[in-house]
Amino acid sequence: MGFNEALQNMALKAVKHVKDSSIVGLGSGSTVAVFVRTLAKHVKEGKMDVKVIPTSLQIKLEAETLGFKLADDTLIPSTDIMFDGADQIDSKFNMIKGGGGALLREKVLIRASKQTVILADESKYVDVLNRAVPIEVLPYARTYVYNELKKMGAEPKIRSLDKGYPFVTENGNLILDTSFGSIKDVAKLEFELKNIAGVMEVGLFSKHANQYYKAKKNGTVEVLTP
């Protein structure tokens, strides 16, 4: 037993939250991709009518291939449940997200959905958040935001692709991966960053999910409720 088995077990447990006629929000990343494939089998076996709202082209393509009905974004306020991964989760259930660049859409769906379930392996769980925070920035404001972050004592770095081209989000924005060291007051920093003109969204998530699933190396899954 290992992480692969644990991820499969985690998806099997989490998928039981989905009810017939649900509108399901889907985050991005490899863990969510495993969940989407499991959800497809669950929906087929249960003969349920489910619509999904993906936050990334990656998961949208996966959902289309599996035959899911895609809900229009006007139905975002009616989202019943959101499933997503995380890059880091601290002991107070705050998160850093945005490694795949879909943080803005993910935050919209997490805020809009009636329930949120986070799926992550045990390596993502830490005492204090300390990895670089993705900050989605309007290209027009790139230099201004960069300078404001430097004034805060942070270390921003523009996200680039393998060949050096800037990474552009599906919203047409840039990402500044920004190091703050250990982040003790997540909500305060999130608020301060959102107050910088030109920042479209920040990868700090202080709103708690309803449940957190932790996949372990030994193949087991722990369910945590804040």
155 is catalytic: no
Both 109 and 38 in a single domain?
Answer: yes
Q: Are residues 141 and 220 in the same domain?
A: no
Residues 147, 133: Cα–Cα separation, whole Å: 16
Are residue 99 and residue 82 in the same domain, yes or no?
A: yes
pTM: 0.94
The residue-averaged pLDDT of 51-68 equals 96
12-24 confidence digits (pLDDT tens):
999 999 999 999 9
Q: In this structure, are 98 and 119 located in the same domain?
A: yes
User: What's the pLDDT score for residue 46?
Assistant: 84
The CATH code of the domain that includes 46 is: 3.40.50.1360
- For 113-141, the three-class secondary structure string (H helix, E strand, C coil) is CCEEEEEEEHHHECCCECCCEEEEECHHH
Q: Are 217 and 191 in a shared domain?
A: no
Is residue 52 located within the same domain as residue 157? no
62, 106, 148, 190: the active-site residue: 106
115 and 79, same structural domain? yes
Q: What is the pLDDT of residue 128?
A: 98
**pLDDT-wise least confident of 127-136, 205-214, 216-225:** 216-225
- Total domain count, the chain: 2
Q: Which domain holds residue 195?
A: 133-204
